[in-house]
Amino acid sequence: MDKLAATAILTFFVSLGVILGGSILGGLGAGLVGKAPMHTMLELAEEMKLWALVTALGGAFGIIKAFETGILGGQPLQLVQQMALVFCAFAGAHLGFIILYFMSGGQQ
């Protein structure tokens, strides 16, 4: 399998796992302290989207360096590849939120 495709798939699922795992465990904690678990899970999923992207991409500095290389270094293919990885990370995080949203019955 192509290295970019493998990295994109891994990025997608890491981001999805951060949202689902963090929200489910956060909802468990909310239940232990007497808060509404599903409401807390959705709030956490919404708040963690950005952090899921950063986690899935391996930190912000690597991707910023790749953008610099793509723009200033005259390597547009590098820029397109990094944008694809950012899109995959966002898609995974958003899918995690959608899964939790439908688990809650569509109520926030």
How far apart CA 76 and CA 26 sit, in angstroms, is 40
Q: How big is the chain by its Cα radius of gyration, in Å?
A: 16
The mean per-residue pLDDT over the stretch 52-61 comes to 80
The pLDDT of residue 75 is above 70? yes
Express each pLDDT in 39-54 by its tens digit: 999 999 999 999 998 8
In the chain, DSSP finds a helix count (H) and a strand count (E) of 4, 0
How far apart CA 73 and CA 71 sit, in angstroms, is 6
Determine which helix (DSSP H) or strand (DSSP E) holds 104, and give its type and residue range: none
Residue-level pLDDT at 73? 75
Q: Name the nearest CA neighbour of 41 among 28, 56, 54, 51.
A: 28
Express each pLDDT in 20-29 by its tens digit: 999 999 999 9
Express each pLDDT in 12-22 by its tens digit: 999 999 999 99
Residue-level pLDDT at 60? 60
Residue-level pLDDT at 16? 96
Q: Which residues contact 48 (CB under 8 A, 6 or more apart)?
A: 18, 19, 22, 23, 93
The mean per-residue pLDDT over the stretch 90-107 comes to 90
